[in-house]
Amino acid sequence: MTHYELYTRILKLKSNRKYRRDHSFTNFMIKTNRSRKLINKIFKNINDNTCVKEALCQFVISDITAFEVYFRDIFLAMFSFCKNDTELLSRCTKLVDKNFNIEDLVIIEKDGIGIPLIIVGLLNFQNLKTIDKVFSTITQQKIFELLDSNKFYQGKPEDYEVYPLDKDWYSKLEEYLDLRHNLTHDFNPRLKIDSKRVIELHENLMAFIIAMDICLEWNFIQENFKKGALMKGVRKY
């Protein structure tokens, strides 16, 4: 990715964020609820198999879009709401390897591009290994190990109900991400899509995001919360 492509992408990301809520999980639920409502209506009212198959394809693509946006939003939220964002930035030096010259700095200054936005523009949140590395590095906890052991909820409020993740949550997520990649980048008109399997993979994705949100929200953001952030307004990256 050239610097021009990076800045173009970042400015687009910054523009799109203006129209979303501040809360990452709320944005995720709005997007997935709309998709789920649409696919349910299609299942109920449309008998054309070709149309149903195309709707399932779009449902998968929409799900993974919501998935990727969630991780961008929660990444940026950590810098907005946590009291020591300088410490977080120092940890992020392990995540990216890109040099910027004076011309780049002029563009960054002119367009008001924050460092967290530059970092998020360089990351791929459709890759599970990247997600694990990024959030384990920032929180200094082995995030996916917490999920595997179902200990992700330890910091949650006492009255917060939590369901453990299935043992095969990781392989199901990989399957769903691969399916989206095939549908988007390598279209196969004869590809068979089983609606029951898609819904199963969708439910696993939902459980994973809930687990990650509890883990990051209650075990990290709340513990490092910047007092007065909500009342005074937070920095917008």
Q: What is the pLDDT of residues 134-174, one digit of tens each?
A: 999 999 989 999 899 888 877 676 777 777 899 999 999 99
The Cα-based distances of 77 to 22, 36, 146 in angstroms read: 8, 26, 21
pLDDT in the model for residue 180: 94
Q: pLDDT-based confidence at 21, cuts 50/70/90?
A: low
Average pLDDT in the chain = 84
pLDDT in the model for residue 167: 93
pLDDT in the model for residue 131: 96
pLDDT in the model for residue 178: 95
CB under 8 Å to 113, separation ≥6 — which residues? 7, 10, 11, 14, 107
Is residue 100 pLDDT above 90, yes or no? no
CB under 8 Å to 169, separation ≥6 — which residues? 147, 204, 207, 208
Q: pLDDT-based confidence at 196, cuts 50/70/90?
A: very high
Which of 87-101, 169-183, 206-220 ranks highest by mean pLDDT?
169-183
């946006």: which residue's tokens?
69
Is residue 236 pLDDT above 60, yes or no? no
Residues 46-70: what's their mean pLDDT?
94
Side chain identity, residue 149:
S
pLDDT in the model for residue 226: 60
Nearest to 119, CA basis, from 150, 142, 98: 98
pLDDT in the model for residue 91: 86
